Structure 1
Amino acid sequence: MSIAKPWIASYPPETAPSLEYPRVPLTHFLEEAAAEFPERHALYFMGKRLTYRELLTMSYQFANALIKRGVKKGDRVAIMLPNCPQAVISYYGALFAGATVVMTNPLYTERELIHQLHDSGAETIIALDLLYKRVTSVKHSTPLKRLIITSIGDFLPLLKSWIYPFVQRRQGQNPQVVYGGEVEAFLSVLKESAAKPVVPDVDPENDLALLQYTGGTTGVAKGVMLTHKNLIANAIQCRAVLYKCERGKERILGVLPLFHVYGMTTVMNQGISIAAELVLVPKFNVKEILSLIDKTKPTLFPGAPTMYIGLINHPDLGRYDLKSIEACVSGSAPLPVEVQNRFEELTGGKLVEGYGLTEASPVTHSNPVWGKRVNGSIGLPWPDTDCRVVDPATGEALPQGEIGELAVKGPQVMRGYWNRPEETAAVLQDGWLLTGDMAYMDEQGYFYIVDRKKDMIIAGGFNIYPREVEEVLFEHPAIQEAAVIGVPDPYRGETVKAYVVFKPGQQIGDSELDEHCRKRLAAYKIPRFYEVREELPKTMVGKVLRRQLQEEEKARHHREEQEKTS
C-alpha cells in the first residue's frame, strides 16, 4: 500500500525529504571533526576545555586499553556516568574497540542495576567513584569482571581539581575506592595506553553501537538494539532539520543526560558530527544553568519542558543574558505554548516541540525550527521517516484526522529488543514501529499526540486523554506544572485526578481550578480531585512519571480499604 506523505509539502525548502547516510561506524564523526578542526574546543566542563585532537587521542587510548583488557567486538561495555568528559571518551573508546555501549543511569538502584547488567551481559563498567559502593555491591550478582573508576575531579581545571577532594569530604562524599586487580583508575588506564589509531571492524547496518534500556516508566526495562547506522541516521536527520547550524561554529548546552538517548543524539552525536563545542553539565540546577548560558554563550539548547519552565520562572532571570541561544528542540513531554512564547521572547531564538522514543534513536518528528510551526503539534516527520496512524485493534491505516496508534518507519528505527523476540514482534511489524502513542495527522502532515495508549482514562465509557486536561491546566497563570491520571471510581470505573505545582508565590483553590477547566473541557473530562505538590516525580530528562503517581494512588487506595475493614 502506498502511503501519501502530505508532510513533505510542508518542509522548509532547505530540508531535503531524503538524505544520504554514509556507511561508516559512528566513530567516523569524531575522526572527521578532529581532522578538520583539531584545535577547536570539543568539550567544556566546569572551566576545563578539551580540543577535538585531545578528545580523539583519548578515545583511541581508551579503545586500546579496553582491547588490551580483553574487550572484543560485540562485547557490552557499561558506562555509568553523568555528563562529563569521561562519559564522551568512554563512549567513543568503547565504539572504537568494536564494543556495544550500554548507557547506565547513575541513579539506578541496586535492583535496577542488577537487571540491566545481567540482561546485557556487560563485563566491563566505567563508573563514578561516588557509585563505587553500589557497583561493587552488585558485582557478584552480575557478569561484571572489571571496574574502571573515575572522579569528577579527574577533568577539572588544575586549581579546582586540587580543591575537589576537600569539597567532597566537606559534603560527606568521600568514596573509599579500593584499587587493584579488577578495579582500576580511569586516568591511569588512559595514561598507560597507546594513542595509536584504532579502526573498528564494524558493519554499520547490522552491528550494534548501543543497547539503550527503556521501559522503566512502564515496566521491566528492555534493551533497545540500536546499530551504528541507526544513530548515524538520526544525527544526520537532526542536522538536516537544524540546517542553519554551521560546522565548527556551534556551541551546544549539554544539560540533557548523555546516558539518555535523547541527549546522546541531540547533544553528543549530532554535536560532534558538526564539530560543535559541547558544554557538559552533570546536574540541572536552574541558577547555575542561567549563569552558564550567560558565560559560555551556547547557540543550541536541546531540552525538556521542565528545564525551560524552570528558567523562565527563576526570580533572578533578569540578571542573565540568554540571547546567544538560536535554536532549541524540546522533547520528552508536551511543550506548553506559554512556555514556548516566553522562552522565545527572552532569547530571541526558536523553541519548537519534537517527538521521539528510544526505539527510534530517538527522534522521529519536530516542528520546523525556522519554518511554519503549529502549536500543540509534534510537527512533521523527519526526512526519510514514514508515518501512519493505525487502528490499535486491527492495525489498519486510518484516514487523516482520525485518532489511532502512531506507527513510524525509517533508518533510525531499532533492530529490536535485546533477547526479547516476542516483545520485538509485538511492536515491530514489517519495519513499522508501533509507538504506543495515540495520535492523528492534519491535512498538512502535522502530527498531534493525544496521549499514551496505556495512559488513556476510560470514565463511564468516555475516552479521556490526560495530555488534553494537562494542557488546559497549564493555561492557568498560577500553574507551573500539572499531571493527570485516572483513579478508581465506583460509579464511572475511573475518574480524573490532577496533580498541580503552583508558581512561586501563587496559590488557588479547587473551586477556581474547577471553574477554569469547566470553561474549556467537557464535563466528563474535568478533574474530580486535585492534589497540590511542591514537585512532580520525573525521569532524568524531565518526563513526568505518571506511573509513579498511579502507584502512589493505588497504595493510598489500598490503605484506605484496609482501614475500612479493620
Structure 2
Amino acid sequence: MSAYDELPWLGVYAGQSAELPPEHPDALTMYRAGLAADPDGVAIRYFDGVLTRSELEAQSDALASALLAHGFERGDRLAVYLQNVPQFVVCMVATWKAGGVMVSINPMSRARELTYLLADSGARVLVSLETLYDEVAREVVPGTAVDLVLTTSGLEHQQRHDERLFAGVARARHDGTTDLATLIEEHRGQVPPPVTLGPDDVAFLTYTSGTTGVPKGAMNTHRNVVFTAGVYRDRARFAPGGSVFGVAPLFHITGLIGHVAVTLAAPSELVLAYRFEPGVVLDALLEHRPTYTIGAITAFNALLNAEGFTRDHFSSFTSVYSGGAAISPTAEKAFAEKTGLQVHNAYGLTETTSPMTLTPYGAPSPVDPTSGALSVGVPVPSTIVRIQDDDGNDLPLGEVGEIVADGPQVVAGYWGKPEETAAGLPGGALRSGDVGFMDADGWVYIVDRKKDMINASGYKVWPREVEDVLAEHPAVRESAVVGVPDEKRGETVRAFVSLHAGATVTTEELVAHCKERMAAYKYPRQVVVIDELPKTVTGKILRRELRD
C-alpha cells in the first residue's frame, strides 16, 4: 500500500459518499427519478422560453419513437451539432430512450473536422442547426453513414430574439433534411418501448479537444455520467429550488455533466443562452438569478471585464466552480474582490467525465509556497489519484510527475482505438498527460501539460509558472507561454500576453517583471503583446497555435 491509499480524502467531505446509487444504474433511470420528483417543474429556461420536465418527457418520447420508426437500433449513434439550446437536452434523453449513444460535436467544427467526427463515430443521425447545416454539414453528410438529418434553429423555444446573437438569422428548411420540431409533433403522444440500459453501456461519445493530436472519442458510460452528476450535485451545494447557468458549451464534458446531467439528477432548472456572449450572459444572470455554475476562468474573466458588469450580476449565486483552464492565485483573488464569492477549483478531463478533484465547498484552495500554484482540490470520493513516473511507479508525496486517476468516472476507453486505450488507460486508470504533485493532505497541484514542458539549456521550465508570474502584473489580462527554438539554449521561453482595456506596458517592462521574480533560466526572453489569445470554445488557451 502506498501513501496515496492512506490520505484522508473522504474526511474532507464530512463522511459523505458519492457511490453509484443502486436505484440509478444508468443515466436514463437518473433522469426519470428527477422527473418523478418534480414532473411539473421547469427543466430549462431559454431566454423568455420555458420547457417543463413533463414537456421534456413528451418531446423526448416522441423523438425516440420517431428514431425507432426510422430504423434506429440499440447502440446506434446520434450526433448533435448544436449550440446551447433546449433541443440539445431533448435529443440526449431521446437517444437514451432509443437505446443509443449521443455524439456531441463542437458547433465551431468546420468541414474537415465534422467529416472526421461523423466518420469516426459512425453516426447514423445528425441533428444540426439550420445555419450550420447550410454552412458546413450539407457538403459533408453525403460521404458519411448519416441517413437522417434533423435540422432546428436557435430561434426555437423563445419569442424575444436577442439581436446580439440572432441578427439576420431566419428559419431556412433545406432539401434532404427533416425539421426536428415537425417530426416531434408528428409523433407526439407516442411512447417508445422500454429499454434496459446498464451502467457499462456508453451514454456519450465526447471527443478530446485535439490540442495535441487527432481527437479521440472517449466512451463515457452511464456509470460515469451518474457518478459525476452525483458528485456535482452533492459537492457543489445546490441551493434548494436553485438553478444552473450553462456558461460552458453543452457539447463539452463540463457542460454535459456540470450543467445538463446534474440538473437531471438534482433535479433543478438549467438556464441556457445559446452561446457565450458576455453582454447576453450578464443580462441572463439578472433575469434568471441562477444559483450555481461551472465554467472556465477565461469566461468568468470576460464577464468581470465586460461593459456594465456589477457585483449584483453574481449576487444570486451560492456556488461557483471553475475548470477547463488553469486558475492563478491572482485570478482567484480578483474574482473574489469583484463578486464577493470564492471561485472553487475543479479538475478533470473528457476521459474522467469531468471531475476527478474538487475544492470542497467553502474551503480555501491552498497555494503551494514553492511553485505558487493554486490547488485544484482533493480527489472526489471513490477516486484514487496518484502521481507517477514514466514507468508507472508511484512517486513520493510532493514530487512532480504525471497525474493518474482511477475511479467510477474514468471512461471505458477510446471509440475504435484499442491501441490508444491501452496506452492512455492502462489497467483502466487514466494517464492524464498533466504534470503535478500532491501534498501530504491530499491536495493536488497541476504544474502543466507534460508535452508543454520547455527545455531551456537543459533546465525544465513549466509554462504555467511563468504565466502565474505574468498574471501578477496589473496590465496583463491573459498570458500563454511556449518554448521556441534557440541556437544557444536549444529552446527559449516566449510569452504572449493580452492586456486589460486601457492598460499600457512595454515588453521590456514585462520581461523585467518576470526576471525580478524568477530564476534566470525561467523568465521569458521574448514577450509578444496581442489582442486576444487563441482558445478552444471552452476557454482553453491553444499553445500549439502560438508555437506555430
- TM-score bracket, normalised by the shorter chain, equals over 0.9
Q: How does 1:48-447 map to 2 (within 5 A)?
A: 48-133=49-134, 134-157=136-159, 160=160, 171=168, 173=169, 176-179=172-175, 182-198=176-192, 201-242=195-236, 244-246=237-239, 249-318=241-310, 320-375=312-367, 376-392=374-390, 394-447=391-444
Contact 1:230/1:411 (<8 A) preserved: yes
Counterpart Cα distance in 2 of 1:273 and 1:46: 23
Tell me by how many angstroms 1:526 deviates. 0.5
Q: Deviations over 1:212-263 (max 9, x none)?
A: 1114211111111111111111111222212x3245x111111211111111
Q: Which runs of 5+ in 1 are unaligned?
A: 552-566
Matched residues in 1 for 2:211 and 2:97: separation? 32
Q: Where does residue 535 of structure 1 map in the other structure?
A: 532
- Aligned residue pairs, count: 539
SS at match of 1:435: strand
Partner of 1:475: 472
Aligned to 1:523: 520
* Cα drift, residue 67 of structure 1: 0.9
**AA in 1 matched with 2:314:** L
Q: Is the 8 A contact 1:101 1:209 kept in 2?
A: yes
**Aligned AA (2:329):** V
Distance, in Å, in 2 between the alignment partners of 1:28 and 1:121 is: 26
Partners of 1:485 and 1:200 in 2: CA distance: 53
Does 2:496 match 1:499?
yes
Does the CA-based 8 Å contact 1:291-1:320 persist in structure 2? no
For 1:513, the equivalent position in structure 2 comes to 510
Cα deviation code 1:19-62 (max 9, x no counterpart): 64545321223222222212211101011011111111111111
Query: Which amino acid counterpart does residue 173 of structure 2 have in structure 1?
Result: V
Gap change, CA 1:387 and 1:329, over 3 Å in 2: same
Tell me by how many angstroms 1:495 deviates.
0.7
**Structure 2 CA distance for aligned equivalents of residues 66 and 548 of structure 1:** 40
Q: 1:469-509 deviations in whole A, cap 9, x for unaligned?
A: 10110111111100001001111111110000000000101
Does the Cα contact within 8 Å between 2:511 and 2:526 map onto a contact in 1?
no
SS of the residue aligned with 1:15? Answer: coil
Distance in structure 2 (CA, Å) of the matches to 1:48 and 1:137: 33
**8 A Cα contact 1:132 1:175, kept in partner:** no
Moved more, 320-329 or 220-229: 320-329
Alpha-carbon deviation of 1:345? 3.6
Q: Distance in 2 between matches of 1:24 and 1:288?
A: 38
Counterpart secondary structure, 2:287 = helix
Q: Is the aligned partner of 1:549 residue 2:541?
A: no
Q: When the two structures are superposed, what TM-score results if normalisation uses the length of structure 1?
A: 0.91
CA–CA separation in structure 1 for the residues paired with 2:474 and 2:364: 27
- Alignment partner of 1:524: what SS? coil
1:561 equivalent in structure 2: none
Q: In structure 2, do the counterparts of structure 1 residues 199 and 399 end up closer, same or farther at CA, with 3 Å as the change threshold?
A: farther
**Matched residue of 2:258: which SS?**
helix
SS at match of 2:212: coil
Q: Secondary structure at the match of 1:49?
A: strand
Q: Which moved more, 1:28-37 or 1:412-421?
A: 28-37
Deviation at 1:351, TM superposition (A): 1.1
| Preserved contact between residue 324 and residue 539 of structure 2 (Cα < 8 Å) | yes
How far apart in 1 are the matches of 2:338 and 2:269? 23
Once structures 1 and 2 are overlaid, which stretch shifts more, 287-296 or 221-230?
Answer: 287-296
Aligned 8 A contact 1:355 1:366 in 2:
yes
Query: Structure 2 CA distance, aligned partners of 1:132 and 1:175?
Result: 12
SS of aligned partner of 1:230:
helix
Residues 122-168 of structure 1 deviation map (CA, whole Å, 9 limit, x = unaligned):
011000000112111011221111100001122113xx37x99xx96
Q: Deviations over 1:91-123 (max 9, x none)?
A: 111111111000011111101111110111101
SS in 1 for 2:334: helix
Deviation, structure 1 residue 209: 0.7
CA apart distance, 1:319? 7.8
2:77–2:124 Cα contact (<8 Å) kept: yes
Question: In the alignment, which of 446, 451, 454 is matched to residue 451 of structure 2?
Answer: 454
Give SS of 2:27's match: coil
Q: How high is the sequence identity, in percent, across the aligned residues?
A: 36
One-letter identity of the residue aligned with 1:390: Q
Contact residue 64 and residue 195 of structure 1 kept, 8 A: no
Letter in 1 for 2:381: P
TM-score (norm 2): 0.94
Instruction: Give the secondary structure class of the aligned counterpart of 1:58.
Output: helix
Q: What is the CA-CA distance between 1:443 and the residue it aligns to?
A: 0.7
The secondary structure found in structure 1 opposite 2:332 is helix
More deviation in 474-483 or 12-21? 12-21
State the match for 1:12 in structure 2.
13
Q: 1:446 is matched by which residue type in structure 2?
A: W
SS in 2 for 1:514: helix
Give the letter aligned to residue 148 of structure 2.
R
Alignment match, 1:562: none
Change in 2 beyond 3 A, CA 1:98/1:515: same
Query: Are the equivalent residues in 2 in contact too, given 1:100–1:210 (CA < 8 A)?
Result: yes
Provide the C-alpha distance between the structure 1 equivalents of 2:50 and 2:437, rounded to a whole number of angstroms. 45
Deviations 1:524-558 (A, max 9, x none): 0111111111111111110001111112xxxxxxx
Residue of structure 2 in register with 1:44 after alignment: 45
Q: Which amino acid aligns with 1:155?
A: H
Q: Secondary structure at the match of 2:116?
A: helix
Any idea what SS the aligned residue of 1:301 has? Answer: strand
SS at match of 2:465: helix
Q: Supply the distance in 1 between the matched residues of 2:10 and 2:66 (Cα, whole angstroms).
A: 50
Q: Distance in 1 between matches of 2:268 and 2:333?
A: 27
The letter for the 2-side match of 1:56 is E
**Separation in structure 1 between the aligned mates of residue 13 and residue 280 of structure 2, nearest angstrom:** 35
* Cα distance in structure 2, aligned partners of 1:174 and 1:341: 43
